[in-house]
């Protein structure tokens, strides 16, 4: 009974950590540019595919992850520079479609480069399950949760302790004022895309041994990440992390106790229920509109 | 006023004329089939454009309504043997009610929160359709009975072409009238600034709900007829990508332009057919075209082209 619950919690936290990273990515970009980047899932895919295919051709794992991460960051910066920044003053829907166009484009390129089939990446430290009070856990889960935790703490420190991070925060509060005090807001937008891409790509690489990598792996992960970000309140970093973990755990519990077929629906039922009562998410600020 | 009325009628007549003469230029049933699919998409897009372009509300879940209509027809007219017309109406009424119930709380949301909520509804609908295989046939879909009305069976591309053409004409006429009615002005006020509209006495909530319901019903009716025409429906017709496709058609053609929505639907239905020659590069080209259009023509195809025509000729 307890072992079963623990089992579901563990697997929920594992996948929730990935949702949290994706959600954080959505929030960082949203803060810098007020864009919802629907290509966030593709950053995860690039990380997963690059590390799986590169290790298969003999590249050491850390280097493979690094290359995947760098590639995703480059792609993120290109999307920001050539698509998003050029359409600065376009409406919300237009910007959404630009990022969706980018995600279709990236999936197309990935299919061309890596093919359509599933790629396998070996677990980082073996497959012997760890026993924990009756529940068993893949060692890879520890990698996922550990990496996510380190990244999240690092992001927190970056935004609160470094000048670049503070400049990015300032831009999110007031773009014009930030510009007036000499912050290069265009570079902030590029940096936010690079940062989100790196988060996604590392997430994709560590989760790949559990989920396999394929060119469409980013679609659902990306949408769940968006759900996590909205659940926590758009642009609220810690909220996105909490949102990701809530979605992951709820999904695992739903799959375990209710119906595994409806696993993917759980996240969206939760978000609808929450938005019904809290239109700005769990931790979002209530805004006032200027006429 | 004279000009608006004039422009409205010219556009409608021009579209009617194109629909009327087009079959003469389509060499075979394959082209007719593409035209019919474009027509179905256009019907949904005209409704969706009222919501996105005029009321300024995003919906990333309209394929869900399309899917409910399609499956209502498939299940009720097939499994339960209802007359197709009744099944279509039942689907439309159900979708209308569903849209009405969810509209009030959902349309209070703004921008991205609204996008999230409608996206959620669409995904839930498609997962239900995929999972309840006893009723819907699951991921493989289900076959749908042909459409019969007064003992006559609608059969063949040529017949369906005229059905869809007439439907599109009716839907465009309806929405053009709506836009020039007091309600249309209220909607544009809501789009401009919701708070300001409220201050001058527009019941913004009521108008938004009304348009949301109307656009959902358009989608449902198109879904029902599509199901009968195609004879086979799959959950893919209700999923996230279909919703995205529909929104893309509206924005691509030109927001707040009824004919823009029609043009967007036609062009983006044709595009994948043309892109088959790119084979493996199809997705790349599609993604690139979407990005490029939105970056260089953020207002969409038709309004951008219309702006190129000198103002005095338009007056």
Residue A238 sits in a domain whose CATH number is 1.10.3470
Indicate whether A129 belongs to any domain.
Answer: no
Indicate whether A126 belongs to any domain.
Answer: no
Per-residue pLDDT for B107 more than 80? no
pLDDT attached to residue B304:
83
pLDDT attached to residue B185:
80
pLDDT attached to residue B301:
84
Indicate whether B123 belongs to any domain.
Answer: yes
Per-residue pLDDT for A291 more than 50? no
Confidence band for B311, pLDDT divided at 50, 70 and 90: low
Residue-number span of the structural domain to which B102 is assigned: 2-243
Indicate whether B202 belongs to any domain.
Answer: yes
Q: What value does the mean pLDDT take over residues B40-56?
A: 91
Q: What value does the mean pLDDT take over residues A188-216?
A: 93
B5, two tokens = 């009325």
In whole angstroms, what is the distance from residue A225 CA to residue A219 CA? 10
Per-residue pLDDT for B310 more than 70? no
Confidence band for B96, pLDDT divided at 50, 70 and 90: very high
Q: Are A36 and B119 a contacting pair, CB within 8 Å?
A: no
Per-residue pLDDT for B267 more than 80? yes
Q: Each residue of A35-44: pLDDT tens digit?
A: 889 999 999 9
Say yes or no for a CB contact (<8 Å) between B105 and A276: yes
Indicate whether A223 belongs to any domain.
Answer: yes
Say yes or no for a CB contact (<8 Å) between B287 and A98: no
Q: Is residue A279 less than 8 Å (CB to CB) from chain B?
A: yes
Indicate whether A55 belongs to any domain.
Answer: yes
pLDDT attached to residue B69:
95
Indicate whether B273 belongs to any domain.
Answer: no
Structurally, chain A folds into a number of domains equal to 1
Indicate whether B313 belongs to any domain.
Answer: no
Say yes or no for a CB contact (<8 Å) between A280 and B116: no
Of the ranges A49-58, B114-123, B185-194, which one carries the lowest mean pLDDT score?
A: B185-194
Of the ranges A152-166, A178-192, B149-163, B244-258, which one carries the lowest mean pLDDT score?
A: B149-163
Indicate whether A280 belongs to any domain.
Answer: no
In whole angstroms, what is the distance from residue A24 CA to residue A238 CA? 8
Per-residue pLDDT for A166 more than 50? yes
Optimal mutation site among A35, A97, A224, A266, interface B, most CBs of chain B within 10 A: A97
Phi, then psi, of B153 in degrees rounded to 5: -95, 130
Say yes or no for a CB contact (<8 Å) between B294 and A275: no
Indicate whether B301 belongs to any domain.
Answer: no
CB nearest to B251's CB, from A30, A97, A219:
A97
Q: Each residue of A101-145: pLDDT tens digit?
A: 999 999 999 999 998 889 888 888 888 888 888 888 888 999 999
Indicate whether B140 belongs to any domain.
Answer: yes
Percent of chain A at pLDDT above 90? 56
Indicate whether A132 belongs to any domain.
Answer: no
Q: Please, what is the average pLDDT of chain B?
A: 85
Indicate whether B68 belongs to any domain.
Answer: yes
What residues of chain B lie within 8 A of the CB of A93, using their CB? Answer: 52, 58, 247, 251, 255
Of A100, A72, A23, the C-alpha closest to A201 is A72
In whole angstroms, what is the distance from residue B96 CA to residue B55 CA? 18
B232: which strand partners? Answer: B143
In whole angstroms, what is the distance from residue B205 CA to residue B108 CA? 8
ipTM of the complex: 0.85
Ramachandran region, residue B143 (left: φ > 0; alpha: ψ -120 to 50; beta: rest): beta
Indicate whether B299 belongs to any domain.
Answer: no
CB nearest to B290's CB, from A36, A82, A100:
A100
Q: What value does the mean pLDDT take over residues B177-186?
A: 82
Residue-number span of the structural domain to which A200 is assigned: 2-120+137-273
Structurally, chain B folds into a number of domains equal to 1
Q: What value does the mean pLDDT take over residues B99-118?
A: 82
Q: What value does the mean pLDDT take over residues B147-169?
A: 85
What residues of chain B lie within 8 A of the CB of A104, using their CB? Answer: 283, 286-287, 290
What residues of chain B lie within 8 A of the CB of A95, using their CB? Answer: 294
pLDDT attached to residue B315:
40
Of A12, A15, A43, A14, the C-alpha closest to A199 is A43
pLDDT attached to residue A252:
94
């Amino acid at each position: 009974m307890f072992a079963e619950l623990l089992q579901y919690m563990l697997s929920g936290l594992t996948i929730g950590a990935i949702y949290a990273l994706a959600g954080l990515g959505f929030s960082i970009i949203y803060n810098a540019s007020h864009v919802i980047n629907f290509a966030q899932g593709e950053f995860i895919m690039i990380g997963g595919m690059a590390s799986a295919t590169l290790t298969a051709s003999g590249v050491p794992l850390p280097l493979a992850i690094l290359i995947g991460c760098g590639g995703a960051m480059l792609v993120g910066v290109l999307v920001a520079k050539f698509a998003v920044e050029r359409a600065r003053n376009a409406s919300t829907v237009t910007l959404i479609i630009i990022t969706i166009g980018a995600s279709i484009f990236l999936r197309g390129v990935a299919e061309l480069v890596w093919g359509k089939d599933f790629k396998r990446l070996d677990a980082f430290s073996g497959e012997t399950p760890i026993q924990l009070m009756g529940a068993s856990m893949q060692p890879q889960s520890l990698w996922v949760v550990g990496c996510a935790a380190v990244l999240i703490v690092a992001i927190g420190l970056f935004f609160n302790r470094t000048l670049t991070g503070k400049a990015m925060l300032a831009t999110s509060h007031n773009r014009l004022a930030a510009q007036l005090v000499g912050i290069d807001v265009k570079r902030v937008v590029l940096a936010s895309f690079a940062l989100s891409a790196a988060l996604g790509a590392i997430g994709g690489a560590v989760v790949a041994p559990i989920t396999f990598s394929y060119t469409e792996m980013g679609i659902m992960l990306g949408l769940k990440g968006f759900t996590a970000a909205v659940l926590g309140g758009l642009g609220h970093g810690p909220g996105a992390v909490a949102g990701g973990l809530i979605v992951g755990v709820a999904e695992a519990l739903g799959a375990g106790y209710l119906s595994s077929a409806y696993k993917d629906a759980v996240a969206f039922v939760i978000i609808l229920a929450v938005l019904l009562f809290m239109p700005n998410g769990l931790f979002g600020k209530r805004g006032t509109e200027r006429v | 006023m004279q000009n608006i009325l004039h422009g409205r009628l010219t556009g409608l007549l021009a579209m009617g004329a194109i629909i009327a003469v087009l079959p003469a230029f389509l060499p075979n049933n394959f082209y007719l089939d593409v035209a019919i699919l474009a027509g179905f998409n256009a019907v949904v897009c005209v409704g969706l454009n009222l919501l996105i372009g005029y009321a300024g509300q995003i919906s990333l879940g309209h394929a869900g309504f399309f899917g409910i209509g399609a499956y209502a027809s498939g299940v009720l007219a097939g499994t339960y043997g209802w007359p197709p017309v009744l099944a279509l109406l039942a689907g439309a009424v159900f979708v209308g009610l569903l849209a009405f119930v969810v509209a009030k709380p959902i349309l209070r949301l703004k921008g991205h929160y609204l996008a999230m909520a409608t996206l959620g509804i669409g995904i839930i609908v498609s997962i239900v359709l995929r999972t309840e295989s006893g009723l819907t046939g699951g991921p493989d879909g289900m076959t749908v009975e042909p459409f019969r009305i007064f003992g006559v069976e609608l059969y063949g591309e040529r017949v369906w072409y005229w059905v869809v053409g007439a439907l599109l004409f009716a839907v465009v006429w309806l929405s053009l009238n709506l836009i020039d009615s007091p309600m249309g002005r209220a909607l544009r006020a809501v789009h401009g600034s919701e708070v300001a509209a409220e201050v001058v006495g527009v019941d913004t909530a009521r108008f938004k709900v009304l348009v949301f319901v109307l656009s959902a019903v358009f989608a449902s009716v198109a879904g029902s007829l599509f199901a009968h025409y195609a004879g086979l429906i799959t959950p893919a017709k209700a999923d996230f990508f279909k919703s995205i496709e529909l929104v893309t058609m509206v924005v691509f053609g030109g927001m707040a332009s009824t004919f823009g929505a029609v043009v967007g639907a036609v062009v983006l239905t044709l595009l994948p057919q043309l892109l088959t020659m790119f084979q493996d590069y199809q997705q790349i080209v599609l993604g690139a075209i979407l990005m490029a259009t939105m970056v260089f023509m953020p207002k969409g195809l038709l309004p951008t082209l219309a702006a190129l025509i000198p103002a005095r000729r338009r007056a």
